[in-house]
């Protein structure tokens, strides 16, 4: 497997060619699909190939992991069976009694896991408003706080974390900063450049981009002791991706840049249009100038503000649910980051304890013609009133 020195290339080139690796034996440009779970031991009882068993390590991961590490500017990456498997592996590498801090606005299922399983297991979990640096500073317990977890832009209100400021606070207290960068994607944001130690992705979303596989990933700034612990968690708990899913994920990542760029342009146009729609009470999108995190997002994101936005529908919860009922082109479904645009009433999903208002619809802008997306939402909003 060889590739030209990717350091001199633009990220979009690296992604389109998946690092330019070729198979030396066949000269294949697309990797062979290799599905073996086990590897031949040498006659003298050694494993010189470095491979033993596919729960610990799988050659199908090599290229997608190397590609993601290159795109994020990290030292190494690890694929997991889902975004949740990736995120929970970070916390499971800690010990009971350790303190962790997570944001009020974040992916709901991980918040529920932290407040349920992780607390029962013995982690001290503190939820803070990550946009308020004074609150974060007060929550830090130097020496005890091991991880500051954040997400930016954060589901589904799109709160922006000031990554450089939060990294400084975390590091001053001896903690690691881990960032769920699923909605930002490496196209728009590289958290390691702003001081993050770990970057997490639900690769189910933009990295794969076609709503046809569940996968997760972590990227590390350094191959340190904690990274080795996380690797052990993956091998022992076994949240590993299948070979075919890894192969599909690499195929999806080749088109990451054009997909994200198109979806981001659609989201910006949608946000500006919906802000003027009389049936919309509020548009939440970091690309709008009056959005509270806009200035920070402009500083730490390049090429746009993401392809996720939310609207608060005039007329409240029932009007929001009815709007979703009337879409024809948008698809009423959970998830995000696919080529197709998705709309979802989030309060129905997140339930009690969620900061999400009942009149909110979350929108994942896809890569369709934006005029169709705008016309469909306009008619659905009107029909719901």
Ligand X SMILES: *Cc1c(COP(=O)(O)O)cnc(C)c1O
Q: Is 55 a catalytic residue?
A: yes
Q: Which H or E element spans position 268? A: helix 256-275
Q: Which of 353, 321, 302 is nearest to 106 (CA)?
A: 353
Select which of 51, 55, 251, 331 is catalytic: 55
Closest CB to ligand X among residues 175, 342:
342
Would you call 331 a catalytic residue per the annotation?
no
| DSSP reduced 3-state for 134 | helix
User: In what order do the strands lie in the sheet containing 331-332?
Assistant: 280-284, 308-313, 360-364, 342-345, 331-332
Among 180, 197, 245, 359, binds ligand X (CB under 6 A): 180
Does 107 bind ligand X (CB under 6 A)? Our answer is yes
Among 58, 131, 145, 202, binds ligand X (CB under 6 A): 202
- 204 scored as a contact of ligand X (CB under 6 A): yes
- 39 is a catalytic site residue: no
Among 155, 208, 243, 354, binds ligand X (CB under 6 A): 155
328-347: which residues touch ligand X (CB under 6 A)? Answer: 336
Instruction: For the beta carbon of residue 369, count every other beta carbon within 10 angstroms.
Output: 10
Structure tokens at 280: 């919309």
Closest to ligand X by CB, 81 or 266: 81
Torsion of CA 281, 286, 291, 296, to 10 degrees: 170
| By the rule CB under 6 A, 12 interacts with ligand X | no
Kind and range of the H or E run holding 146: strand 145-151
Which residues, 6 or more positions from 65, have their beta carbon under 8 angstroms from its beta carbon?
76, 77, 78, 79, 217
Write the CB contacts of 116 (distance below 8 Å, at least 6 apart in sequence). Answer: none
CB 201 → ligand X: shortest distance, Å? Answer: 8
Residue with smaller CB distance to ligand X, 112 or 282? 112
Q: Which is nearer to ligand X, 63 or 204 (CB)?
A: 204
Smallest distance, ligand X to C-beta of residue 135, A: 22
Number of residues located near ligand X, criterion CB under 6 A: 16
Under rule CB under 6 A, residue 84 binds ligand X: yes
Are the C-beta atoms of 150 and 166 separated by less than 8 Å? yes
Binding residue for ligand X (CB under 6 A) from 99, 146, 205, 259? 205
Q: How far apart are CA 63 and CA 79, in angstroms?
A: 11
Burial category of 22 from C-beta neighbours within 10 Å (exposed 0-12, middle 13-18, buried 19 and up): middle
Instruction: Produce one character per residue of 160-187: b if its CB has 16 or more CB atoms within 10 Å, e if not.
Output: bbbbbebbebbeebebbbbbbbbbbbbb
Please tell me whether residue 183 binds ligand X under the rule CB under 6 A: yes
Please tell me which residue in 98, 159, 162, 180 is annotated as part of the active site.
Answer: 180
Give the bridge partners for 280, in sequence order. 313
The yes or no reply on residue 112 touching ligand X (CB under 6 A) is: no
Q: Which of 111, 146, 190, 205 is the catalytic position?
A: 205
- What minimum distance in Å lies between the beta carbon of 155 and ligand X? 5
The residue within the footprint of ligand X, chosen from 74, 173, 195, 216 (CB under 6 A), is 216
Contact 365, 271 (CB under 8 A): no
Coil, helix or strand at residue 324: helix
Asked if 235 interacts with ligand X (CB under 6 A), we say no
Q: Which residue is nearest to ligand X (CB)?
A: 83
Q: Which of 98, 107, 111, 359 is catalytic?
A: 107
Does 245 participate in binding ligand X (rule CB under 6 A)? no
- Out of 88, 93, 182, 323, the only residue in the binding site for ligand X (CB under 6 A) is 182
Catalytic residues: 55, 107, 180, 205
Binding stretches for ligand X (CB under 6 A): 82-84, 107, 110, 151, 155, 180, 182-183, 202, 204-205, 214, 216, 336
């Amino acid at each position: 497997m060889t590739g030209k020195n990717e350091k001199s290339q633009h990220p979009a080139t690296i992604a389109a060619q998946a690092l330019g690796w070729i198979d030396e034996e066949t000269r294949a440009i697309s990797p062979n699909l290799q599905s073996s779970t086990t590897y031949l031991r040498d006659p003298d009882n050694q494993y010189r190939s470095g491979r033993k068993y596919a729960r610990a390590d799988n050659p199908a991961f090599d290229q997608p992991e190397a590609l993601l590490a290159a795109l994020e500017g990290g030292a190494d990456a690890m694929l997991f069976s889902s975004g949740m498997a990736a995120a929970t592996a970070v916390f499971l590498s800690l010990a009971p009694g350790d303190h962790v801090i997570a944001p009020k606005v974040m992916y709901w299922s991980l918040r529920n896991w932290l407040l349920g399983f992780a607390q029962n297991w013995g982690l001290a979990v503190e939820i803070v408003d990550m946009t308020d640096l004074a609150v974060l500073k007060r929550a830090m317990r130097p020496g005890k706080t091991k991880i500051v977890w954040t997400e930016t832009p954060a589901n589904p209100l799109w709160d922006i974390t000031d990554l450089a400021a939060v990294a400084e606070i975390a590091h001053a207290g001896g903690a690691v900063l881990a960032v769920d960068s699923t909605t930002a994607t490496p196209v728009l944001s590289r958290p390691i450049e702003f001081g993050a130690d770990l970057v997490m992705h639900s690769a189910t979303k933009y990295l794969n981009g076609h709503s046809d596989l569940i996968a997760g990933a972590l990227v590390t700034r350094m191959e340190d002791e904690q990274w080795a612990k996380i690797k052990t968690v993956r091998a022992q708990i076994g949240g590993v991706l299948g070979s075919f899913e890894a192969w599909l994920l690499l195929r999806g990542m080749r088109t990451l840049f054009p997909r994200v760029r198109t979806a981001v342009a659609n989201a910006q146009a949608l946000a500006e249009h919906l802000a003027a729609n009389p049936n919309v009470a509020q548009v939440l999108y970091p690309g709008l100038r009056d959005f509270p995190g806009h200035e920070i997002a402009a500083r730490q994101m390049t090429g746009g503000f993401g392809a996720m936005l939310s609207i608060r529908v005039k007329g409240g919860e029932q009007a929001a649910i009815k709007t979703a009922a009337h879409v024809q082109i948008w698809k009423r479904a959970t998830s995000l980051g696919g080529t197709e645009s998705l709309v979802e009433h989030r309060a129905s999903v997140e339930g009690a304890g969620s900061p999400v208002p009942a009149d909110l619809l979350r929108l994942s802008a896809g890569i369709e013609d934006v005029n169709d997306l705008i016309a469909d939402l306009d008619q659905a909003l009107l029909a719901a009133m």
